[in-house]
Structure 1
Amino acid sequence: MAQNCLKCLKYTMCAANFLCFMCGVVVLGFGVYMLVNFRLAALTPALANFNLSNMLLISGIVITCVSFLGFLGALKENRCLLLTFFLLLFFLMLIELTLACLLLVYEDKIGELMTKDLNNGLEKAKAKNSTRVISDWDLLQDNFQCCGVKNYTDWGDDVPSSCCSGPCGKKPIYNQKGCLEMLKNFFEENFLTTGISVIVLCIVEVLGMCFAMTLFCHISRSGLGYKL
């Protein structure tokens, strides 16, 4: 009976990790596609390299590598791979929880840094040294129906057409709300969804750790698999 349960655990772990591996490949492929076909997140100096495509690439690489270790370790009943899989999941969970705590504790400080960085990005766009920065501001202002950091006066006398709430004529009507306020509202509205996603991810990681350690202990007791 115990052997059947452990076999079931082994193949369940293989199937789950294979599914995660395929998801990681999809995320990685989508990140490559966005990197090649879209030019985003030059909005602020700090976000020039920390953009959505790079985040997807990093996430895809991490998911594929970790899930591959779990799949191979369970399939081959390799204690070394299972222990590595367990430790990687443990460190990833610690990183996620640490980041969540830092976001909660330093929420005001992060808001100040975001304001400063947006202002720096706006000054760069006003100088018109980079068409990429200008196009990203246009994209942000179109999607969030905002203008500037605090309001349209941030642009001075050269307000872009993306700030218009309607057709830009001789007397254009600009969006009154700044992009900083709209971004804060967006993050606050999605805070609950993000929190639930982090909790679900942590639960999945804890289950993966439990499965890996259970299989590891069984292999150690039975003398199967490769020795450490």
Structure 2
Amino acid sequence: MNTSCVSWLKTTVINLNFLCWLCSAFVVAFGEFQMIHSRFASISTSFWPIYPANTLVVTGAIATGVCYLGFLGSLRENRCMLISFFILLFILMLVELAMAIIFLVFSRQIDTYIESDLRVSMEIYRGSSPDGNQTIKQDFDDVQHLFQCCGVNGLQDWGNDIPISCCTRDPCDVLVDSNWQEGCLVKLRDWFSWNYKCTGAGVVAMFILQFICLCVTIPLFCHFGRHGLGYK
């Protein structure tokens, strides 16, 4: 392999790893943004462990470190760093592929969990004292206000005890027709389904970029190995 080809390959690997690092950092920032601005975390207890925001932060943080290792190894022509990068990235890619499959499959089962979570949260809301379970109350009110809905399947779920968050007007009045009539189940289900699919698609995109980085790194590592480079 001539000098110009090696130089081009090294530059490509450095740029790709830097791009991968930037994308991973963006994923972490976006996940943090989702976690901070999530207004209804407490009512989605059935699938909180694989909530999209959590997954984005954890995956992005690990990918950031791995891509930086590849960037530094390519820049310094260090075979130890490159082989560590290769192994860690390969493991990370397998994990990301499994996570993408889980998200894409799990998005089809959201109906089963969303309805039960909403009903449980609604019963807690209705049975709580004015000062009790403020987190669930606030989250449920935020859901109704944000998605312009009321109850699980409709306004009738609340009976005669309709919360002010169902009101369509600001300031609210006492007219029955001033409340949202549609239930929150369909809207919240669609929102979670969209987020799960987008997260799965994002993980797949990261997987593709990392796969390209991996493929380009192999010939560079082999060149260093054939010429006894990379341990200085």
In the TM superposition, residue 112 of structure 1 has moved relative to its aligned partner by 0.9
Q: Work out the CA distance in 2 between the residues paired with 1:33 and 1:205.
A: 24
In the TM superposition, residue 44 of structure 1 has moved relative to its aligned partner by 3.0
**CA shift in 2, pair 1:47/1:16, >3 Å:** same
Q: Work out the CA distance in 1 between the residues paired with 2:161 and 2:72.
A: 59
In the TM superposition, residue 178 of structure 1 has moved relative to its aligned partner by 2.0
Which of structures 1 and 2 has the larger relative contact order (alpha carbons within 8 angstroms, sep 6+)? 2
> Greater shift after overlay, 86-95 or 25-34?
25-34
Structure 2 unaligned runs (5+)? none
Q: Work out the CA distance in 2 between the residues paired with 1:209 and 1:72.
A: 14
Q: What residue is the counterpart of 1:218 in the other structure? A: 223
Say which of 139, 150, 154 aligns to 1:151: 154
In the TM superposition, residue 146 of structure 1 has moved relative to its aligned partner by 1.7
> Greater shift after overlay, 155-164 or 138-147?
155-164
| 1:180-202 alpha-carbon deviations (Å, 9 max, x no partner) | 21133345667876665454333
Q: What residue is the counterpart of 2:209 in the other structure? A: 204
Structure 1 unaligned runs (5+)? none
**CA shift in 2, pair 1:80/1:149, >3 Å:** farther
- 1:42 is paired with a residue of what secondary structure? helix
- 1:208 is paired with a residue of what secondary structure? helix
- 2:118 is paired with a residue of what secondary structure? helix
Q: Which AA in structure 1 matches 2:173? A: G
The aligned length equals: 226
Identity among equivalent pairs (%): 38
Q: TM-score, normalised by structure 1?
A: 0.77
| 1:86-108 alpha-carbon deviations (Å, 9 max, x no partner) | 23333333333323334454555
Q: TM-score, normalised by structure 2?
A: 0.75
Q: RMSD of the TM alignment (CA)?
A: 3.4
For the Cα contact (< 8 Å) 1:66–1:85, is it kept in 2? yes
| 1:202-223 alpha-carbon deviations (Å, 9 max, x no partner) | 3212101112222222222221
- 2:43 is paired with a residue of what secondary structure? coil
- 2:42 is paired with a residue of what secondary structure? coil
| 1:3-53 alpha-carbon deviations (Å, 9 max, x no partner) | 322222222322333344345445546666776x65742233346676676
Say which of 173, 179, 185 aligns to 1:180: 185
Q: Work out the CA distance in 2 between the residues paired with 1:185 and 1:51.
A: 15
For the Cα contact (< 8 Å) 1:44–1:120, is it kept in 2? no
